[in-house]
């Protein structure tokens, strides 16, 4: 049944004995439909009936996805995957889209009948989501799956909404992409280098300190592209990244925007990048060069300072390291700063996402100036690339990353994305080479 979002009061009072009381964020909800509020399209039954139960270890989570319409958030074999669609919230954009999403989920989750016999982050009702990078983008979406399979800390569970078929029955076996043809996206390589050069001139002229410019790349296959194949390859090759899928956006991001577990929050700032070397000696040389690079350290400092400034008003305690550390992935080495804190009040993970997005790692600084320059020079709408992607449960817990190293799937077509941080010392040819290296993640996912 399709319904418009409507105001409710006191819908967060749960009645079943196995239920955990939701946070106050989800108790009083009002979805406005005036010009001052975001108009939402909410597709859902009148009331969700949710049941989470412990199960034996299901093995590889991604291999359990029954069809290509996959939802996933997996790292080192742990996380959650989902399928089916019990509810969908579509947001047309707007600066308040995170708050609007929280209100819409508050209505859905607060009115749900929940039997949660697991009681961990990710059990009970969960929404997978992805938000457009630009507030003007109409691509933000939240999906509440009909079934969720999860594993965390040696415990596994299955969540079912309503009546569902055999939860682990394979509806359609995955088929690898074939007959791939590649084309430039919005800007061919020379035009993108010219855009980088223009950005450098603006930065040297004092207009801003940093801007992140992205490229896209188009690919077409003979048959519809199955997200499960890409997820399996990404999780196997990049186990330390967060392998994700939501509404056709598939990728493996190294960047944890925020994790909320109760009152504790964690973030991982990544900015400053180099390719891996040829063997351990080559890696050591490149790592030393990255740590000594004034350009990369400046880029990283912008990102770390912004995260500190965004989280400080929300946290009673906050720790941001004074110096970055190297993070080595199978294809790249990043400068990384792990950030930890404790929230000062009762805030959902979506509240913290709203405070953090966009970071200088994917936009630049000052943010408004960088965002305008991105609109001027990139020649495309990023959609949900470089926007927040992840999940949130009825407690307000969740994990959200930045949608990097990803592709948007659309039937037989896919659109790949890669971005680079541009500062005063950036060289257009070197930035193009870095973007090409970053494309390699999704090229591998598609080609094997």
The tokens describing 392, both together, are 């949130």
Tell me, yes or no, if 210 is annotated catalytic: yes
Catalytic residue among 27, 107, 255, 434: 255
Distance CA 222, CA 243 (A): 25
Centroid of chain to Cα 422: 22
The conformational region for residue 327 under phi > 0 = left, psi -120 to 50 = alpha, else beta, is beta
The tokens describing 352, both together, are 């913290």
Distance CA 176, CA 439 (A): 19
Catalytic residue among 107, 210, 299, 378: 210
Cα–Cα distances (Å) from 282 to 239, 275, 363, in that order, read 22, 10, 30
Tell me, yes or no, if 295 is annotated catalytic: no
The tokens describing 226, both together, are 């199955």
CA dihedral over 225, 90, 400, 372, signed as positive or negative? positive
Cα–Cα distances (Å) from 302 to 305, 338, 404, in that order, read 5, 15, 18
Q: Measuring CA to CA, which residue among 420, 443, 445, 386 is closest to residue 274?
A: 420
Centroid of chain to Cα 227: 16
Residue 126: CA atoms inside 13 Å, Cβ hemisphere, count? 36
DSSP three-state, residue 232 = helix
Q: How many CB atoms lie within 10 A of CB 398?
A: 25
Q: 326: which strand partners?
A: 335
DSSP three-state, residue 202 = helix
Distance CA 434, CA 175 (A): 31
Catalytic sites, residue numbers: 210, 255
């Amino acid at each position: 049944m399709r319904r418009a979002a409507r105001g409710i009061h006191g819908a967060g009072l749960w009645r079943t004995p196995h239920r955990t009381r939701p946070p106050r964020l989800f108790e009083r909800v009002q979805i406005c439909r005036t010009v001052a509020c975001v108009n939402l399209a909410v597709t859902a039954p009148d009331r969700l009936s949710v049941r989470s139960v412990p199960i034996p270890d299901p093995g590889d989570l991604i291999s359990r996805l029954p069809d290509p319409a996959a939802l996933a958030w997996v790292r080192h074999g742990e996380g959650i995957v989902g399928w089916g669609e019990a509810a969908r919230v579509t947001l047309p954009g707007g600066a308040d889209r995170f708050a609007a999403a929280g209100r819409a989920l508050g209505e859905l989750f607060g009115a749900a009948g929940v039997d949660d016999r697991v009681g961990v982050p990710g059990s009970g009702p969960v929404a997978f989501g992805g938000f457009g990078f630009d507030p003007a983008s109409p691509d933000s979406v939240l999906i509440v799956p009909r079934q969720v399979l999860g594993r965390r800390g040696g415990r596994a569970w299955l969540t079912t909404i309503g009546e569902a078929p055999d939860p682990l029955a394979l509806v359609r076996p995955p088929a690898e992409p074939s007959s791939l043809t590649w084309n430039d996206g919005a800007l061919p390589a020379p035009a993108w280098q010219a855009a980088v050069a223009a950005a450098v001139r603006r930065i040297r002229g004092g207009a801003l300190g940093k801007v992140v410019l992205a490229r896209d790349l188009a690919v077409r296959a003979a048959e519809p592209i199955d997200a499960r194949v890409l997820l399996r390859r990404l999780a196997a090759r990049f186990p330390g990244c967060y392998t994700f899928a939501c509404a056709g956006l598939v990728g493996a991001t190294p960047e944890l925007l925020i994790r909320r577990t109760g009152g504790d929050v964690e973030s991982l700032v990544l900015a400053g990048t180099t390719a891996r070397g040829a063997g351990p000696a080559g890696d050591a040389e490149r790592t030393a060069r990255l740590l000594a690079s004034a350009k990369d350290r400046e880029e990283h400092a912008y990102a770390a300072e912004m995260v500190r400034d965004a989280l400080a008003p929300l946290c009673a305690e906050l720790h941001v390291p004074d110096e970055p550390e190297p993070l080595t992935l199978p294809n790249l080495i990043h400068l990384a700063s792990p950030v930890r804190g404790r929230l000062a009040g009762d805030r959902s993970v979506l509240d913290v996402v709203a405070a953090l997005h966009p970071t200088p790692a994917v936009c630049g600084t000052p943010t408004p100036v960088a965002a305008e320059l991105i609109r001027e020079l990139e020649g495309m709408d990023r959609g949900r690339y470089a926007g927040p992607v992840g999940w949130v449960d009825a407690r307000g817990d969740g994990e959200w990353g930045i949608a990097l190293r990803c592709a948007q799937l659309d039937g037989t077509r896919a659109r790949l994305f890669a971005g680079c941080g541009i500062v005063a010392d950036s060289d257009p040819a070197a930035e193009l080479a870095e973007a090409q290296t970053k494309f390699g993640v999704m090229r591998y996912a598609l080609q094997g």
